Amino acid sequence: MEQFKESVYQLIVETSTNLPPDVRRAIVKAQQQEDAGTRAALSLSTIAGNIETAEVNQSPICQDTGMPTFEIKTPVATNQLEMKQVIEEAIALATKNGILRPNSVDSLTGENTGNNLGPGAPVFHFEQWEKDEIELRLILKGGGCENKNIQYSLPCELEGIGRASRDLDGIRKCILHSVYQAQGQGCSAGFIGVGVGGDRTTGYALAKEQLFRTVDDVNPIESLAKLEDYIMEKANELGIGTMGFGGQATLLGCKVGVLNRLPASFFVSVAYNCWAYRRQGITVDPQSGLIKAWLYKDGEVKMSTGTDQQAANGRERKEVIELEAPITEEKIRSLEVGDVVMINGPMYTGRDALHKHLTENDSPVDLNGGVLYHCGPVMLKDDKDEWQVKAAGPTTSIREEPYQADLIKKFGIRAVIGKGGMGARTLAALKEHGGVYLNAIGGAAQYYAQCIEKVEGVDFLEFGIPEAMWHLRVKGFTAIVTMDANGNSLHADVEKSSLEKLADLRDPVF
Ligand SMILES: O=C(O)C[C@H](O)C(=O)O
Ligand code: SF4
């Protein structure tokens, strides 16, 4: 069992730090589709560089290492209870070593268990088979894209695309709508697994299972193969693009599975996965516990960071505006949507727990002119007992919409960094107070970790590592202004134009 534990540990490390070749190929293809110099192309370059760094440094590709979900097939008479225990030990070890973020939170008390174990975590699906080998597949699907999963109960009326009836064309409409409603918030360009039929539970389970198919896998059911191809073509016409910045690549994969349903129910369930599509698998010899084969490794795909591509196209990078924190109101008001900024100086992290706390309490640090970063990093203490940043990309900002406007005004915050954009109340507060929303590249956790020079302190560690308020000193932290102090929002614009394009796809196709 010691060797089996080592094999499972290796599987966890590979899944968290090294994107499989089929996913890499899909991202490379997206890079080739985008025009050099655009926001989408720059973001994809950052993503490509991040993928390489994560592999080289053996560090998490994204700081949200997700809900570890195992699909396991065992020979008859294998002791699954013993296996479960060993896998849990491997999970706890990977968490201790900074390969996984402590991600399991008591839903009633908010307490983080610290080792990724607890009721329902990790997720195990066991099955027996006749073969004399163990197969383990693992997916690490993060919370931001999980929040963009959606389940439709047909018939229904859908914004933009109209009525979805109980037929193949209704299914088509639901899937297109699911991509639209995700916008950039699930770190597009994404991959979707779709479950048609089943009940509410098995429909979602089927949708997730589809994510274990390789990107180039062709559906054995002809009508579904056609549907998958159609969705790939049309979803990429919605213009949502990487991180919702607009662009050619919105969807990188679509896989559809089907189950029978009850006469009264008709569910279409969609599991949305970000570009950081971390899934891997192994077969293991049950006697020795050694890895026999890797399931998603068909060759090496090196990522190109795109600078060569830009140079080849002769296009200049947009000028970068340097900002020293704390930032003056005048400087902030001079920024416009589309500007690329580079921040130096202090920055504070804060997400769900902190926003709620600051609404009711004072801040332990002066946030006047300050930069607030929606981020839940992976942190480890080194031998000198100092905190080191292992991964630190942005989290989805829209969750803080109920609080953000009040906090901007209450504390004098000038820049909020996150991903996916924020809503109308925040936009109004940015205008009134003089502030900007900066979009960082979701999932690029290695890229941003490298911009952090020092961890200068931490408050509210009792909220758990992801939710604590980390005091960071950054240098060259690059992000894009997507909401400015003049009332402009790139997110609102992309949402509007993609809704119009969705509406163009109303007419029946199947
Ligand atoms: O929890 C996080 O760090 C990020 C999350 O996966 C998100 O996409 O918002
Ligand atoms: S931050 Fe983005 S890339 Fe990371 S898990 Fe969340 S959705 Fe995925």
Task: Give the 3-state DSSP-derived string for 323-374, with helices as H, strands as E and coil as C.
Answer: EECCCCHHHHHCCCCCCEEEEEEEEEECCHHHHHHHHHCCCCCCCCCCEEEC
Position 502 in a domain: no
Q: Compute the distance from residue 142 Cα to the ligand 2 centre, in Å.
A: 5
pLDDT at res. 308: 45
Both 348 and 479 in one domain: the answer is yes
DSSP state of 318: P
Buried b (16+ CB within 10 A) or exposed e, 354-374: bbbbbeeeebeeebebbbbbb
181 and 291 inside one domain: no
Q: Tell whether 159 and 256 lie within a shared domain.
A: yes
Are residue 335 and residue 300 in the same domain, yes or no? no
Question: How many structural domains are present in the chain?
Answer: 3
- Global pTM value: 0.96
- Nearest atom in ligand 2 to the alpha carbon of residue 393 is 1
**Rounded to an integer, what is the distance from CA 196 to the centroid of its chain?**
24
Tell me which residue of 460, 377, 389, 385 sits closest to 417, measured CA to CA: 377
Q: Of all protein residues, whose CA lies closest to atom 3 belonging to ligand 2?
A: 443
- Ligand 1: residue whose CA is nearest its atom 1: 64
pLDDT at 319: 87
Closest ligand 1 atom to Cα of 101? 3
CB 144 less than 6 A from any atom of ligand 2? yes
Whether residue 122 is preceded by a cis peptide bond, meaning omega within 30 degrees of 0, is: yes
From 19, 44, 59, 62, the mutation candidate for ligand 2 (largest count of ligand atoms within 8 A of CB) is 62
324 and 312, same structural domain? no
- At 485 the pLDDT is 98
Q: What is the domain-level CATH number for residue 445?
A: 3.20.130.10
Exposed, middle or buried, 217 (CB in 10 Å: 0-12/13-18/19+)?
middle
> Which tokens in the block code for residue 504?
């163009």
| Domain end marker among 242, 275, 308 | 275
The whole domain housing 138 covers 1-142+280-316
Task: Give every residue of the chain whose pLDDT is below 50, as ranges.
Answer: 308-316
Please report the atom of ligand 2 found closest to the CA of residue 65. 5
Any ligand 2 atom below 6 A from CB of 369: no
432 CA → ligand 2 middle, Å: 31
Nearest bound ligand to CA 392?
1
DSSP 9-70: HHHHHHHHH---HHHHHHHHHHHHHSPTTSHHHHHHHHHHHHHHHHHHHT--SSS---EEEE
Residue nearest to atom 6 of ligand 2 (CA): 144
Give a yes or no: residue 509 inside a domain. Answer: no
Q: What is the pLDDT of residues 395-421, one digit of tens each?
A: 999 999 999 999 999 999 999 999 999
User: Do residues 342 and 243 both lie within one domain?
Assistant: no
